Amino acid sequence: MNAPWKSVSAGARDPFTAYVCDDLTLDVVRTVCDDMGWPQEKAFKGGLRNAIQSLSVSASPQILLVDLSESGDPISDINGLAEVCEPGTVVIAMGQVNDVRLYRDLMMSGLQDYLLKPVNPDALRDAVTHAQMILNAPKHDEGAKEHPHLSTAIIGTRGGVGASTIATSISWLLSERMGHLTGLLDLDVHFGTGALALDLEPGRGLTDAIDNPSRIDGLFIERAMIKANDKLSILSAEAAIGNPIMTDGSAFFQLQEEFRAAFENTIIDLPRSMLISYPHLLHDVNVAVVVCELTLASARDAIRLLAWLKSNAPSCHTIVVANKVQAGGVEISRKDFESSIERKVDLLIPFDPKATAQAAKLGRPLVDSVRSSKVAGGIVTLTDMIKSSATPEETIEEGAKSASTSKKSMMTGFKALLVKK
């Protein structure tokens, strides 16, 4: 399969073999074989089972296409295929099930792509061309060390609390000051400000990725992302307001996978609304920074977000930050806010409109343009907290423990706050 790269003599292998379940798909595959200059006879009728039988007694092709339509348990069948398939083969699957969890599990099993049936010739041609590119790409150095990866999501409890300001500044610190390869994934598809804050054009990278999840790979990331400095790349969009996001979320999963391979840090600017449509976005995130303001509405939504994180991402280490804090000018005191959300606010960042105005004028991240300000100091501290946050293994236990605390009691705390007001 395509996961481990080993040197295999490509010359002894067929370039392409397909096992499909129905005549309609067979016709499409044969058409694409013609286009690619491959013999039509290498497209067989018969699904995954036949593929496993044949490959157990013959050499594996360079690209293998298998139809999962007749498979009752695709994941276990794909694992069965992996046992007979030689390393280095790029496997593409097709099937009728449109389910992001299946897609995710198949990708984890080492598949290169999953095409939804009925498959059209263009989609299949794209997928096999892409597979060819992977085969021709320079092979990974097996001796190279895996770099550790830290994925952090920045989520605002309310609009405008400063989540994007913080996400851009953290990305800048990690890359420019600490020298870590960093990718900023701005998932505010229509209104994102990650690129704007750095005086860059957002490009179409993110919308292209959403429209064509099967194209997402290392090469795509390299081309679609814009460079803010030597170590920082941004993937964002400024999608037209009339264009709703049309995806089952597989593109986001695939992007996170590729970011993990390409960078040491992934920073995700994650609008809270995205969690409703794509809860799996948090599955592999190590740290969630929940940005709040000390207001009643923010307290209510912090409670709900923290409870959601506990049940949906128990392995994620959570940091609560109160931003735009004004001495004597807050709607709720820190103490009341903390008793309402039943946990400490880990960090307070002051309200400093002068600093943010200066950063906006210069088109530079806040931590770079107004280094000596308290707000920049707060973000530096936050970045240190993220870097030194517990390892994922530790947080799984912590998260699981805290997940058992009742959400009900948090809402009771919030109601007490309302009475107080």
List the x/- string, 271-290, binding to ligand ATP by CB under 6 A: x-------------------
Nearest to ligand ATP of 90, 196 (CB atom): 196
Q: How far is the CB of 347 from ligand ATP (least distance, A)?
A: 12
The whole-angstrom separation of Cα 101 and Cα 365 is 37
Q: How far is the CB of 198 from ligand ATP (least distance, A)?
A: 13
Q: How far is the CB of 158 from ligand ATP (least distance, A)?
A: 7
Size of the site for ligand ATP (CB under 6 A): 19
Strands (DSSP E) found in 13-62? 16-20, 43-45
Radius of gyration of the chain (CA): 24
Considering only residues 190 through 209, tell me which ones interact with ligand ATP, judged by CB under 6 A.
193
Site membership for ligand ATP, residue 163 (CB under 6 A): yes
The structure tokens listed for 94 are 């097709």
Q: 377: part of which helix (H) or strand (E)?
A: helix 374-387
Site membership for ligand ATP, residue 156 (CB under 6 A): yes
Nearest to Mg ion of 47, 378 (CB atom): 378
Nearest to ligand ATP of 221, 376 (CB atom): 376
For 288, the 3-state DSSP assignment is strand
Q: Any alpha helices (H) in 178-249, and if so which ranges?
A: 194-197, 205-211, 218-224
Alpha carbon 5 to chain centroid distance?
Answer: 24
Stretch that binds Mg ion, among 143-151, 161-169, 175-183, 361-369 (CB under 5 A): 161-169
CA distances from 137 to 34, 76, 134, 216, 333 (A): 24, 29, 5, 15, 57
- Which residue in the shown chain puts its C-beta closest to Mg ion? 164
Site membership for Mg ion, residue 168 (CB under 5 A): no
Nearest to Mg ion of 184, 303 (CB atom): 184
Angle made by CA atoms 404, 319, 338, in degrees to the nearest 5: 70
Cβ proximity of 18 and 65 under 8 Å: yes
The distance in angstroms from the start CA to the end CA of the chain is 62
Candidate residues 175, 250, 356, 383; the one interacting with ligand ATP per rule CB under 6 A: 356
The whole-angstrom separation of Cα 258 and Cα 284 is 12
Stretch that binds Mg ion, among 8-16, 160-168, 296-304, 368-376 (CB under 5 A): 160-168
Site membership for ligand ATP, residue 162 (CB under 6 A): yes
Establish how many alpha carbons lie within 13 A of residue 200's alpha carbon, considering only the half-sphere containing its beta carbon.
23
Site membership for ligand ATP, residue 367 (CB under 6 A): no
**Of Mg ion, ligand ATP, none, which one sits near residue 356, judging by CB under 5 to 8 A according to partner kind?**
ligand ATP
Candidate residues 164, 286, 323, 395; the one interacting with Mg ion per rule CB under 5 A: 164
DSSP string, 248-259: -SHHHHHHHHHH
What residue ranges bind ligand ATP (CB under 6 A)?
156, 159-165, 188, 193, 271, 323-324, 349, 351-353, 356, 375
